[in-house]
Structure 1
Amino acid sequence: MRSYPQTHLISSFEILHISLTTVSMSAQPDMISNLPDELLVQIVSCLPFKECVRTSVLSKRWRYQYRETTNLGFKESDFVSPSLQDPDRIDARQRFVDFVFQWVGRVQNRVVESFELCLSSPRAYLAQVEALIAFAVRKQVKKLVLDFSSPTWRISPSVPDHEVFVVVPESVYNLTSLESLTVSGCRGFDTKRFADPGIFKSLSFGWMRLLDVEYLLSKAYRLVSLNINNCWELDIVGMEGNLREVSIQNCKFPDVSLSFDLPRVDIFKYSGDIIYLRFNRMNTIIKEVHLDFQMLIKEYEDPNDPNTLCDHLYGLRSAMTLTVCPYLLRVIQQPIYQMHLLQPLTTQHLVLKTRLHPKEFNGIMILLSNCPDLETLTLDMLPPTSFSTDPTYPGIDHKTYWMQNMTCICLMKTLKVVVVRNFVRGRNDLNVLKYLIRYGTVLERVELYLPYGVDEDKKKFANEGAEMLQRSSKHVHVPCAQFLKR
């Protein structure tokens, strides 16, 4: 089956708005708005909370339906602009907390299935946080999200202990209605305190010290989704079970290896430091694999000994969609590792996060050569760094590299679509695309998407590049469009 990337991003609210507008403009009555209240409540409850509230503007029939939603989600970022400074920011945060309590006060006697509270650095609101968590527990929610992480932590090398305030209360550990739990930015979290870990289908942890994860996983026999990001002291050496989705991002491990026995996994994501990932038993077909080590790239510095990346690729060779970072592209071209690496992948959609620096060229060709079934290639262009603006690299001429007579099986037999995200017509992207068009004998489309909000001059320059590519090919369609932001 051909794998096409998502090219147009549109919200659930916009889909619903288009549907209602289309119906109202036709001769047919508005069938959606004429549904019983019970069904309308189910519709708004399926929307993210912010979009649910926006349905009030659709029509009179929808004006108050959002108040009946069973899924409550309160995010500080929806109310408080990151550009605000004290005291305006303090006032905005207080209005946000007041809004949450006003809403909660209106639904004391209604069913609530999910509750989400995202409030950064809540030191001034610990009593309010405790009261809101108690409300969620009383409602016996199935999904609970407690996120108290701060945006400033994302640019800090470590999280100061004095900025972590919230302690998860005992009532949450004893809440047996839960199916999905997210905890982020809390202290003293204890994975062994849950009354019944077997209730969980989804778990997500972030920005905190996390111990005894293996104990929790051994008890959570229904678990299908696990997400761990920016946690430290993660004392886990193995992961097994019926997990369908695993995401581990930017965590600190006391050990240097981690094994996986996941025969049913569909989505696997890993980012952060390089440790030895052993894939003992994996699904014969994995829908998505993401490997991201770009945080390891230092300016003007070549990668160190990275032979474990070869094993990572081989262990995940059954990925239908494979996403890799610039660091991996730079590493795999090293001659001493190529013989160890070269094992065919079954990948049909390859996503390359790249700056198209000459240091990455050989790595791109190696991956293309080892994806004989590739149908879609996506170049996800990253913003330049100070080292990437220098096109020189010993042994590789960025002006002539893609003019060489080199090809591979996927270009001759399977590659049909090339997508470029954040296309700005730089020094090397046109050369790469000309090469793909020249040797892609079955190539049908080269889709170019500009960065969101790009100015008119750059947009014109990019469109001229698209027209130039189109003139160079008679068999490939080269559309250029604005990339829509969700």
Structure 2
Amino acid sequence: MELHRDLEGNFLTEPPQNSARLHNSKRRISGIQSMEKRVRLTAKCSKNKGKCVSKDYISNLSSETLVSILSQLTLREAVATSILGRRWRYLWTSITILDFDATKATDTIQSGPMYVKWVDRVLGQYEVSTINEFRISFDLDQNFMHAINSWIEFAMTREVQRLEMDLLGQRPYNTLSSRRCSSKCKRLWISQSCGSSREQFCLNLLSARTPTFHGNNFLKDLYLKNVGITQEVIDYFLANCPKLERLSVCGSRHLVKLSVSGSSLSLKHLEVVYCTCLKYVDIFDTSLISFKYVGLDIDLFIENVPLLVDLYIGVGKGNLDKPFLDDYLSQFSCCLSQLQVLTLELIDGFVDEVYSKFFPPLNNLKKLVLEVGAWGEDHLLGLTPLINACPYLQILELKMPWIKVEDHDRRKMRRGIKCPHKYLKVLEIYGYAGRTCEFEFVMYFIRNAVALEKILIDPRDQIVKRTPLASANLKIERTARRLAKSQLEAKVPPSIQLVIL
């Protein structure tokens, strides 16, 4: 029987499946081995012949340089270099980035106990007293509480600057929730945003069952994905990590309320995503620069955030009792005039409902990103009143996840209300399928955006293009690309660069 080894030197009775990444890793390590071998042979030959032909450049490299090279590899690849020689044996323990991501298809770690064993073994050999980044990414629940807590303590006591935990890394989210979707689709969205039905690991730094954390004066970025946290935990991090600038909470089933306040906080960027038990968010008297909320319909209170310039709002509702934009933009009335970047997910609403509404002027807005459900019967010109409220807009992105791609609205093109866009330079459309509503949307800006320099068209499905299911839509994608070329190449003037991906 032919035996194979994984990156840690363990024997496998069968070759690993889907081993493209493993093959690349072995090739990198093999390249280093062969290089060292060539250098040794060259040095030996030059000694025998009495003349200098080459030098052992690898041996002459400083440890700092070699550690820098190892930092470009994955953690498992870096650990695997320990077999190259005596000097390499513990060299990997000097890297300052520990990324324990075992969610790739090529990984041989298939269970929680295997993952815990791997992480514990690596940390047991690690010698550096400070680390820059520490990342845990695997499907773990409350049963692994002791191990997870010990890892957090390890990172915090080593002055970690970026801490990331993703305990359900293999479960993708589907952000679609629309009144045109079936109830099954809505339940799927809610169940995925809640994560697994198993008991979610709950991070409770104040519990006697967990280690006592004394804070960290170096932590700047904290990402908690599929980790149960509460308001008390967030308060603890904000109080004990005075340099914390970025906080991201995704998929927590324990977070019910979130309140962030205090002008003395260093927090600059806040993200709250898919926390389906969340009832309200209250933010005031802070120095936030960016804020992102994606989830179910909740109460958002924003007040006295003078530095907020980047806002991302995506709300999925079960119904549209209140118009989306009227309801949510009004809650940000105190900061709309200062925004420079605005991202809105309009998956839940008809584009027609936006049409002919009055919006307050967004005089500082430079970039607008709109994500809308790609329904054949919608006409995208309904978005123009919102776009026209941004007189100094420079970049416009339209993202359309494919919900229904058939172009059954074979009708005459509309021209829309004429409005000059004097500063718009870049128009990007993602999910272009060649429907009449998309074509007339592009033509509207060709006629009205006098400073337009570039139009980018991406015909790929914005939902599945990041998943293995993307190949199922290749036929639709090819048709969309062909339609984009036939519709636009003859219409776009030479002064505008047309890019069709």
Q: When the two structures are superposed, what TM-score results if normalisation uses the length of structure 1?
A: 0.67
Match of residue 404 from structure 1: 415
- Hey, what does 1:77 align to over in structure 2? 103
**Partner residue, 1:479:** 499
1:62-461 equivalence runs, <5 A: 68-78=94-104, 90=110, 93-108=112-127, 112-122=131-141, 125=144, 128-129=147-148, 132-133=151-152, 135-136=154-155, 139=158, 141-149=160-168, 151=170, 155=188, 157=191, 158=194, 163-165=199-201, 172-177=211-216, 179-180=218-219, 201-206=220-225, 207-212=227-232, 215-216=235-236, 217=238, 221-231=242-252, 232-237=254-259, 239-241=261-263, 242-251=266-275, 256=280, 258-262=282-286, 264-283=287-306, 286=309, 288-293=310-315, 295-296=316-317, 302-304=320-322, 306=324, 307-312=326-331, 314=333, 315-327=335-347, 330=350, 333=353, 338-339=357-358, 341-357=359-375, 358-359=377-378, 361=380, 363-384=382-403, 399-400=411-412, 403-410=414-421, 413-451=422-460, 452=465, 455=474, 458-459=477-478, 461=480
**Helix, strand or coil at the partner of 1:403:** coil
Aligned residue identity for 1:399: R
**2: CA distance, partners of 1:34 / 1:119:** 39
How far 1:469 sits from its partner (Å)? 0.6
CA distance in 2, matches of 1:123, 1:160: 12
| Inter-partner Cα distance in structure 2 for 1:447 and 1:409 | 20
Higher relative contact order (CA 8 A, sep 6+): 1
Whole-Å separation in 2 of the counterparts to 1:135 and 1:221: 19
Q: Secondary structure at the match of 1:479?
A: strand
Shift of 1:269: 0.8
Q: Please give the alpha-carbon distance, in whole angstroms, between the structure 2 residues aligned to 1:115 and 1:40.
A: 20
Give 3-state SS (helix, strand or coil) of 1:415's partner: coil
Q: Distance in 1 between matches of 2:454 and 2:78?
A: 39
Structure 2 unaligned blocks of 5 or more: 1-23, 29-54, 174-187
Q: Over the residues paired in the alignment, what is the CA RMSD in angstroms?
A: 4.6
SS at match of 1:282: coil
Q: Is the 8 A contact 2:112 2:140 kept in 1?
A: no
Cα distance in 2 for partners of 1:420, 1:167 equals: 40
Match of residue 36, structure 1, among 52, 59, 62: 62
TM-score scaled by length of structure 2: 0.66
Q: What's the CA shift string for 1:273-320, capped at 9, x where partnerless?
A: 33343332223561x221111x22x5xx65535543231453333222
> Residue 428 of structure 1: CA displacement?
2.7
Question: How many angstroms apart in 2 are the aligned matches of 1:456 and 1:434?
Answer: 26
Tell me the alpha carbon deviations over residues 425-484 of structure 1, each in whole angstroms, 9 at most, x when there is no partner: 345322221222233222221112242456367336504522531211323221212xxx
* 1:349–1:247 distance in 2 versus 1, CA, 3 Å: same
Q: State the one-letter code of the partner of 1:78.
A: K
Which runs of 5 or more structure 1 residues have no equivalent in the other structure? 1-12, 18-28, 82-87, 181-200, 392-396, 482-486
In 1: Cα distance, 2:302 partner to 2:199 partner? 37
What secondary structure sits across from 2:293 in the alignment? Answer: strand
Aligned residue for 2:489, secondary structure, equals: helix
Aligned residues: 410
Distance in 2 (CA, whole Å) between partners of 1:42 and 1:403 is 57
Identity %: 17
Is this contact kept in 2: 1:261–1:279, CA < 8 A? no
Q: What amino acid is the match of 1:465?
A: A
